[in-house]
Every structure is written in structure tokens, then in C-alpha cells.
Structure 1
Amino acid sequence: MTAAAPTYPDHEALEEVVGGIDTHADTIHVAVVTVVGRDVADEEFLTTLAGYRAATDFLQAHGVIARVGIEGTSSYGAGIARACAAAGMDVREVLRPDKTVRRKQGKSDPIDAYHAARAVLSGRSTSAPKDEKILGLRALHTARRSAVKARTATIHQIQQLLITAPDGIREKYRDLNNARLVETLARCRPNRDDWSVAPCCER
């Protein structure tokens, strides 16, 4: 049996409302409040293209969207932030509630979604989501930091191995700087005539 499609109020009768979205890796929870802070509705959606479309439809069906507060617009909330912006909504970045607020109000996805909406309504959330170009640059910087960290770890491993290597090998590479050392070792090939001896390098 096919479930009946949800029914929403007549668009002409809709009032101005504010949205709030609590974000996770696989789901988002969307809440709607009036401009005076009254709860209107909330619902959970999947973090898929279809889920984002359903979420924006849900928001627009409950009123004229003034603004939408979204947690983590540069992480879990990036997808729904793009979907809301594409739908013409004014998206605001919302910080997650601090521990004091959570102790007083409890922790749940609906509570956090309504908190996001009220953060926008009260003016505590006024920053726009980070520009997509900035996010791209951040990804490049993250990749570079990871590569530099891996390179440093590899150099340290090589130096430790050389410390315990036979004296002849230690002396052979002692005076090489890191760049020259890596370049030289990259040309190393095992001595196929005698596997019991250390590898030799073509200089």
C-alpha cells in the first residue's frame, strides 16, 4: 500500500517563518518556527539530493522563509546549505549549542533544530556560510599539510634506519641533505647476487 503524500497548508495563507537545521552525516533534522518563536513543525530527512529537495519543500510549505539557520555549513551541513541557497533562501551559519544550554534543555535532533532556528531569530547567528572557493582552498591546504606531515615522518624513519645501518652505509649517506638523500635512496636496488648483504645504490 502506497503511503499518502503529506498535505501542507495553502501557500496563500502562509506566514513568515524561520527555519533551523541540525546536521549529521546521514540525516538532517529540520524545524520551523514563527517570527515570534512559536514551534510550527519539524521532520527528519536523509542527506541525499532527494532528501535535500524534500527538506526545502518542507520549509517552504510551512511559510514564507525569512532565514534558515544551519549547523556546520562547511561540514555536515554543506549539502543542505547549498540546496537552501539554490532555493533562494537566506542561509545563516549556526553554532552548536554550548554545554550549558544542552544541560538545561536536553539533547535531541529536534531540540537542536529548533535551537538553530531561534538562534537566527534572536540575532545570535548573523554570519553567512563560508564561500565555496574558501572551502576549496581549505581542502588544498589540508591535503598539503597531510603530505608535509607524511614526508616528515618518512624522513625521520630513514634517519633512524641509517643510525642502525652498517658503518659503510651510514658513511655513504651521512653528508647528504634530506632532498639529496631521498633522491639517492629512490634509486636504490637490491643486490640480486647476494640477498644477505645490504642494498646497494647506483650513484
Structure 2
Amino acid sequence: MMPEPPRAVIGGIGCRTDFHVAAALDPLGRMLGTESFPATAAGYCSTRRWLASFGPIAAVGVESTGSCGAALARSLSEQGCAVIEADQPHRHLRARRGKNDAIDAEAAARKVLSGEAAAAATDTTGVVEAIRQLSVARNSAVKARSAALCQLGGLLVTAPADLRAQLDCRRTLGGKAAVCARLRPHPGLLADPAQAAKTALASLGRRIAQLGAEADELEDELDRLVAAAAPTTLSRLGCGTHHTATLLVAAGQNIDRLSSEASFAHLCGVAPVPASSGRTSRHRLNFAGNRDANRALHMIVIVRLRYCERTRSYLNRRVSEGKTKKEAIRCLKRFVAREIYRTLRADLATLKTRT
């Protein structure tokens, strides 16, 4: 008898912060084994060797490729494995079988085997990942600065009248914060509410100035990176640095993992979802998808409604046909998603040839 050819292996991995659990299936869906590995560089190599011990690796479904599974996905890709992005198990599975890491890993593998999970994991080894990281830091600084401004405004309402009078020379909260940063309270009289108010306002003023400087510095770096990565998309009306960066991060540097512009629209949550049953034929909104990308598309549409006559004409025509303004804006978001997908593909293809 001829020897049996080696069977392909479908892997599934449930990722956690300190460790990950791998499961291996054969092509018929039979469980070959499960094993736990540390979330380290050596553990990633051990995971690949363990899966390969059952036979050639066809594909590996990895959970949380955008968070605690990102390093593992990079390592497996570098070792030549096809890494598939697998969502967390459906709540119906957890209701039937319960919840543990081995069950999650098996569910990821079965999603790959059935074809339910087919999209490649986002590439996190290029400039798009750098843009994501800088965007996270910049957005954090902006939010913290906004929170500090709100706190400063609240303190000003209850501050002594003579202290408020010193700040009347500035009209905006940002201007008042700059003045507060220069206040010099007496450190030995903090039991006095007036001196305590000066201390608190001075602290918030310095914090606001520091966070503003951090946000400006990060924004300059983002301007440079986004202009180099996606110049064509950046030139479109309404596509500023931050909206372009958000859409770049949503698509990923390996945008070819999205089979069509419809896939990109679905990823951004602007593709209607069928909701028909029996004699009822209708679609509903897609409440899933990348909500940051959805918001970026929405803001691009709002800008174009303000400055683009063609966009306003389309909105008025659809409203005259019986659609509401919100429904017409949703149609425009779908159109913008189609346009942005094409420009992003062109930009990333050009970037690939340059590098």
C-alpha cells in the first residue's frame, strides 16, 4: 500500500495577554489536540512547530489580531503561515458549550475550516501601523486636554471673584488656561480656598499646555506620514489627515485582503444588511463595522455638503424622491466609501512599489 499523504492542518488560536491556546483540526474537522504557549517570541515559534507536527499548515485563525494577538500574527506570517482574522465565538456557542480558552481556539479553527473567516489579518509591519500608533497617542492627548479644559471651566465658576477678574482679559477657555499656568499661589496658605483655587488652576493650566504641545507634535508627524502614504486620498475633498489616517488603519496596509469595495463598505458599516423575511423585502442599517471609519466617512460627507455643489444636488434629488435627509446621507457615505477604497488601493500600491 502507498503511504498516506500528510494531511493539512487548520489551526486556531485564542490569544490572551500572557499566553495563548492553540487548537489543531484535520481537513475533516476532527480535533488533533490543544496546547497552551507563553505570549513570547519563543512561544510564537513553539506554536508554529507544534501545529506543524501534525502536518503541513493550511491556515491559522487567530483571535484579537488587532490587540493581544498582533505580535503572534506577525510572527506566524514571518514564518510563512497564512494568518486569518477570526472573530470571537458567537454567544450561541458559549451558551451551548461554555467558555474557556480551548473552546475559543477550536471555534477560531472551525471558522477558518468552514470558510466563515476568510479575511487575512491586517498587516502591522509597515507605515500604516506607525500611523495607527501615533493616532492613538494624539487622540489620547486631545481627549485628556478636553477633559482638563472642562475641569478648569468648572473650577472657574466657583473661584473667588477677584481671581475670575484676573482672567477676564481672555475670552476662551484655552486663553484662560494660558493665564492660569502663570499663576503663582502661596504654598504655605493652601488652607485658604483662594490659594487652593490658584494652585488647582495653575496645575490644570500647565497640564493643558503640555497636552496641547504633545498633540501638536504628534499631529506634525501624522501629517508627514499620511502625506507620504496616501497622497491621492488626502487630496480628496473632506479627507484631512485624521480622516485619511482612520480609513488607512481600518483598511490595513494589505488592503488586498478586502476582495472588493463592497467589503470595505461593510467593514466601515455603511453597507446595508438584508433584513427580509417571507413577503417582506427590506434592508437595515449595519450597526457593526469599524465605528471610527464610519464616523470619518460621515464627516467627509458633511464637509462635502458644505463645499461641493454636486453633493448638495444629489442630496436634494434623493430627498425629492421621498428619502429622508439621513437616508440620503447614508447613500452618500456608501458612495464615498467606494471612492476612498479605490484611492487607498492606488496609494498603497504606489507605496509598495516605492519600498
The bucket for the TM-score relative to the shorter chain is 0.7 to 0.9
* SS of residue in 2 equivalent to 1:190: coil
Would the alpha carbon gap of residues 194 and 117 (structure 1) be closer, same or farther in structure 2, given more than 3 Å must change? closer
1:170 alignment partner in structure 2: 164
2:49 alignment partner in structure 1: 57
CA contact (8 A) 1:56 1:83 kept: no
1:146 aligns with 2:140: yes
How many pairs are equivalent?
190
Distance 2:11 2:184 in 1: 63
Distance 1:103 1:180 in 2: 55
* SS of residue in 2 equivalent to 1:63: coil
Instruction: Compute the displacement of 1:145 (Å).
Output: 2.3
> 1:84 pairs with 76, 79, 82, which one?
76
2:352 alignment partner in structure 1: none
Instruction: Compute the displacement of 1:58 (Å).
Output: 0.5
Q: Which blocks of at least 5 consecutive residues in structure 1 are unaligned? A: 1-11
Distance 2:189 2:72 in 1: 62
Instruction: Compute the displacement of 1:124 (Å).
Output: 0.4
Per-residue CA deviation, residues 91-137 of structure 1 (Å, 9 max, x unaligned), is 00000111111112332222221111110011000111122144433
CA contact (8 A) 1:22 1:70 kept: yes
CA contact (8 A) 1:21 1:28 kept: yes
Distance 1:188 1:140 in 2: 33
| Greater Cα offset, 30-39 or 140-149 | 140-149
Distance 2:15 2:188 in 1: 61
Map 1:98-109 to 2 at 5 A: 98-109=90-101
CA contact (8 A) 1:19 1:30 kept: yes
Would the alpha carbon gap of residues 58 and 13 (structure 1) be closer, same or farther in structure 2, given more than 3 Å must change? farther
CA RMSD between the two structures: 2.4
CA contact (8 A) 2:59 2:112 kept: yes
1:66 aligns with 2:58: yes
TM-score normalised to structure 1 length: 0.83
Would the alpha carbon gap of residues 170 and 126 (structure 1) be closer, same or farther in structure 2, given more than 3 Å must change? same
Q: Greater strand percent: which structure?
A: 1
1:96 alignment partner in structure 2: 88
Q: Which blocks of at least 5 consecutive residues in structure 2 are unaligned? A: 203-355
Distance 1:88 1:193 in 2: 66
2:104 alignment partner in structure 1: 112
Per-residue CA deviation, residues 28-78 of structure 1 (Å, 9 max, x unaligned), is 111111112111122111101111111111011111011110001111111
> Quick check: which has more Rg, 1 or 2?
1
Would the alpha carbon gap of residues 167 and 86 (structure 1) be closer, same or farther in structure 2, given more than 3 Å must change? same
> 1:159 pairs with 150, 153, 177, which one?
153
1:6 alignment partner in structure 2: none
2:179 alignment partner in structure 1: 184
1:45 aligns with 2:29: no
* SS of residue in 1 equivalent to 2:43: helix
* SS of residue in 2 equivalent to 1:36: coil
Per-residue CA deviation, residues 7-39 of structure 1 (Å, 9 max, x unaligned), is xxxxx9632111111111111111111112111
Letter of the aligned partner of 1:43 in structure 2?
E
User: Whose relative contact order is higher, 1 or 2, with alpha carbons under 8 Å and at least 6 apart?
Assistant: 1
